[in-house]
Structure 1
């Protein structure tokens, strides 16, 4: 990429200007250097910012729950107010908007990563094709040598009609052709070129990176979809006034808070690292090359078409050598067709190999031109533009979702703690003979009974109750069968009223009004 053709995007400059500090809080060089431990340490310090927000959030929520656990003051059960409804719906919509923005950014990153991988695969494919053609060049040389040996032996035997001049000329042309084929100069040149290209543009980890990017893309979408489901759980719990559903969201919401802030840490590391790389991508790539010859090759492909071809002279010499050898073959063919007609088939086979060689050298020349690899190199740098913006969008969306889920978690917890249970009472028929219309209020009044005496010499209980005819009739039919000891059993006499039962509306016995009313216990009297 030419120096004048590239300009770092605004987001890259902004991220690059963030302070890069080591563990001692000292400023370090912000140049992209992933092999440098201090640089990696500075990225870890930056990633601690979202992690610190997560720790602070968890501490605040812990303190809130501790205050609720220590709060022993009785409080009136509440319902979900309109203010809470509006607040929760607004925060949920804001959360969904952040999730939508994050999904958009995730799509941008995936799209640009696919382009980057395609560019890298294009460079890798070029290098692989160059290696294949170099090996094919060696095979052509071997096959041509196998054809030349019997031809040279045959041409050393002069035919009867051959003159000495033409025999000498044919021998010279065949020697020139043999010297060219025997020489491994061409093969060595292209082997050296192939080695340099392999050192620079051969990527063994492309398939692994492609699979990792696919898993990241799908996993990110699935994770954000799960957060949308968490918000739906909260809304369902609010609509149904269900404490169980709201408590479920408390667990899911806390998990969402942790996931969002951890994602923000990862995205911050990635955004800062890519921003540093995008400031001077050429400089980092040049730092990876330590051989001067390879450095010239890399410069040629990054600054195309301004830089000069480092193999221009070698390729020109190879092309001239092939052309000279092919001309020698042509002249040798013309002479051999006249003097050795029976060698025509062998000469044609040799001609096929020479034609392949003649076509392959210019093809290799075109393939090594910078215009072939330069577009792939440009594609590999597209992560610095729209891809970086998408990553920053995901970073902001993750932080916003972390804040929103914190608020939703707090409001949800505050709601289900004080939310009254919905009581599903059984409906009682108003004509029930065991529960007259006034019986409900009288049953409540019965719980206010207090003991007016003790099991003393009289053994009597005085009850302060409402004496209603209907209550007395209902009570007589629902006696639990347990009688109290009367005065006669304790004193051997009879109550002054002449009755053998205790005074009161129930004759000294507890009454059960209905299955819907509580049976009075003895503790209610003492």
Structure 2
């Protein structure tokens, strides 16, 4: 047994979570000891979820009050200032985007840490189940539901009885040899009796592999759910920012609906994570006490202490039967060696049975060494410590990061839900101001856009050229309303006057 064994020490955050108020649904404080079967303890964890639900209700109430005030006070602000203030909306969108990015990063880290912790726990459970299965195949009863004498011990008992019965008939004429055979039979019965004298563990039968499988399945779906939630938060934030940039009212309205849904999911996940973290921390504070309380009626306390603590001050509860087994095997091997040396020359037919007993004793001794190694506390204690470290260190730490993710996501989407209505109203105000502009104003953007679409303006240069080539003003129709003459028309008129003047001078000459 190693003297430098590392003891389990609960991390500081489990003590912090363990000190959270434990209150049942009747608002009565209860004991903080981990008791998952107790109704009051279950209510204390449900109460933590109710606290998160109350936080969600308060958050939605504040949003409703804010939106109501925004709808009532917006008209007065519009009358005071014709230019809407978009700076607040911009910075709110930037803050919401940054907080969402931080929240998603924290969520990915917490989800990975929790998954690593649960994986380490399931891996340790599989190792412990493999160790106990190896002990079971060697034929000894241990905690967690191993069978009674089986495997090697059962074969030894039946095979030894057959060989001794035949040798008793062969050595019937030699009383000293018969006494030796009877002594060996008594020693074998004593070994079986010592091993059968151990406590009956059938009542404590637990399949660790089944527990590991269930834990792995639940963890997979938990990990996948949080992964989808993280991706959903990121997509909603990006689409909301895109809606603000494009000033798309339908996209902002859709993202506002999804933002409310994500806000509800964030508070729900916060309640579930908080209850899980507190309950797991209550177990991590003193896991040995809970295990002792669950096994006190079916397993000896010495055996449980031996595997949970595994220090030199505790003696191996299996040391006495294993020592008797070893001494009995050694004594029987000496007896068989003597019979092979002195009895075989007188009774040659006894050699086959004596060699069979010797082979059986050799195989039993090899199994005894394997059994001694498997029964040592260091293997199972290491699996126990690894499982505790996985759950209480990586697991609880990851759940705390997931709680932080839920809080940051709730804050980010609250800011986003406050910014989207302002942006929506500003877009509406700009469209209203745009509709109120004078269409005849030459500086109106709409008038310029409509003017660019008028075919008369696009064909002005060709019209002037056509009129100039004709050399006559009869094809030109004066406009219905007075307006400044375009430069191209004035150029055409000056050319016509020069032509008329030149014709008159020529006729006079």
TM category, shorter: 0.7 to 0.9
> How far 1:413 moved relative to its partner?
3.1
> How far 1:346 moved relative to its partner?
4.0
Find 2:20's aligned residue among 18, 21, 26. 18
Find 1:398's aligned residue among 406, 410, 421. 406
Matched, 1:226 2:232: yes
Correspondence list, 1:26-425, <5 A: 26-64=28-66, 81-134=86-139, 135-136=150-151, 137-156=153-172, 167-181=174-188, 183=189, 185-186=191-192, 189=195, 192=198, 195=201, 199=205, 202=208, 204-291=210-297, 293-305=299-311, 306-382=313-389, 383-420=391-428
Structure number with the bigger relative contact order (C-alpha 8 A, sep ≥ 6) is 2
> In angstroms, what is the RMSD of aligned CA positions?
3.5
Between stretches 50-59 and 196-205, larger displacement belongs to: 196-205
Preserved contact between residue 123 and residue 201 of structure 1 (Cα < 8 Å): no
Secondary structure of the equivalent of 2:25? coil
How far apart are the structure 1 equivalents of 2:97 and 2:91?
Answer: 10
Preserved contact between residue 21 and residue 27 of structure 1 (Cα < 8 Å): yes
How far apart are the structure 1 equivalents of 2:52 and 2:216?
Answer: 28
User: CA, structure 1 residues 304+236, in 2 after alignment: closer, same or farther (shift >3 Å)?
Assistant: same
User: CA, structure 1 residues 139+26, in 2 after alignment: closer, same or farther (shift >3 Å)?
Assistant: same
CA deviation string 1:88-126 (max 9, x = no partner): 122211121122112112212211222222222222222
Preserved contact between residue 173 and residue 331 of structure 1 (Cα < 8 Å): no
Preserved contact between residue 337 and residue 343 of structure 1 (Cα < 8 Å): yes
Preserved contact between residue 191 and residue 328 of structure 2 (Cα < 8 Å): no
> How far 1:358 moved relative to its partner?
1.4
> How far 1:34 moved relative to its partner?
1.1
Preserved contact between residue 78 and residue 418 of structure 1 (Cα < 8 Å): no
Q: Which residue of 2 aligns with 1:442?
A: none
CA deviation string 1:147-203 (max 9, x = no partner): 4433433343x6xxxxxxxx334323333334444x275277268467279557856
Q: Which residue of 2 aligns with 1:495?
A: none
Task: Kindly tell me the number of residue pairs found equivalent between the two proteins.
Answer: 432
Preserved contact between residue 127 and residue 197 of structure 1 (Cα < 8 Å): no
User: CA, structure 1 residues 274+470, in 2 after alignment: closer, same or farther (shift >3 Å)?
Assistant: same
Preserved contact between residue 249 and residue 424 of structure 2 (Cα < 8 Å): yes
How far apart are the structure 2 equivalents of 1:3 and 1:369?
Answer: 14
CA deviation string 1:415-464 (max 9, x = no partner): 22442369998755465359999xxxxxxxxxxxxxxxxxxxxxxxxxxx
How far apart are the structure 2 equivalents of 1:222 and 1:22?
Answer: 33
Between stretches 20-29 and 427-436, larger displacement belongs to: 427-436
Between stretches 141-150 and 105-114, larger displacement belongs to: 141-150
Stretches of structure 2 lacking an aligned partner (at least 5 in a row): 140-149, 436-444, 461-477, 483-509
How far apart are the structure 2 equivalents of 1:215 and 1:31?
Answer: 29
Per the normalisation by structure 1, the TM-score is 0.73
Preserved contact between residue 96 and residue 228 of structure 1 (Cα < 8 Å): yes
How far apart are the structure 1 equivalents of 2:5 and 2:29?
Answer: 28
Secondary structure of the equivalent of 1:238? helix
> How far 1:313 moved relative to its partner?
1.9
> How far 1:388 moved relative to its partner?
2.1
How far apart are the structure 2 equivalents of 1:347 and 1:197?
Answer: 40
Kindly indicate which of the two structures has a greater share of residues assigned to helix. 2
> How far 1:299 moved relative to its partner?
1.0
Stretches of structure 1 lacking an aligned partner (at least 5 in a row): 159-166, 438-467, 473-526
Secondary structure of the equivalent of 2:455? coil
Secondary structure of the equivalent of 1:30? coil
> How far 1:329 moved relative to its partner?
2.2
> How far 1:469 moved relative to its partner?
4.9
How far apart are the structure 2 equivalents of 1:399 and 1:256?
Answer: 12
User: CA, structure 1 residues 430+362, in 2 after alignment: closer, same or farther (shift >3 Å)?
Assistant: closer
How far apart are the structure 2 equivalents of 1:56 and 1:218?
Answer: 29
Per the normalisation by structure 2, the TM-score is 0.75
User: CA, structure 1 residues 298+430, in 2 after alignment: closer, same or farther (shift >3 Å)?
Assistant: closer
How far apart are the structure 2 equivalents of 1:340 and 1:89?
Answer: 100
CA deviation string 1:60-87 (max 9, x = no partner): 3344556677899696998782432232
Preserved contact between residue 326 and residue 358 of structure 1 (Cα < 8 Å): no
Secondary structure of the equivalent of 1:339? coil
